[in-house]
Amino acid sequence: MASFVTRVELYGTPSEEVYNNLHIAMKEKGFSRSFMDNGSRYDLPHSMYLLAGGISATQTVAIAKEAADTVWKDFSVHVTETVVRMEYYNLRLTEPS
């Protein structure tokens, strides 16, 4: 099953509230802002999301565009398929809910 790391950048000067609305819209489309590794859950950097499923990178871009378009009109979307283990440094552990 493919996994896609997706970055959404809102151009201009979006407020924190706009970004919070983006996070909600992305979650509603199935994106996550965290991932599991070795039994721990880590938060992705700001405005990065992860989507896993039987879809393509092109479809992932389209889904992210739909979500972002509901909160801001000037934005970009970048999608990378993760086919190997991700490497990272100093990501924060997700706070328990």
pLDDT in tens, 22-77: 999 999 999 999 998 888 999 999 999 999 988 999 999 999 999 999 999 999 99
Q: What is the value of pTM for the model shown?
A: 0.89
- Please tell me the predicted confidence (pLDDT) of residue 2: 83
Angle at 94 (CA atoms; ends 88, 96), nearest 5 degrees: 160
Helix-strand-coil split of the chain, %, nearest 5: 25, 35, 40
Query: Looking at the domain 2-82, which fold is it?
Result: Alpha-Beta Plaits (3.30.70)
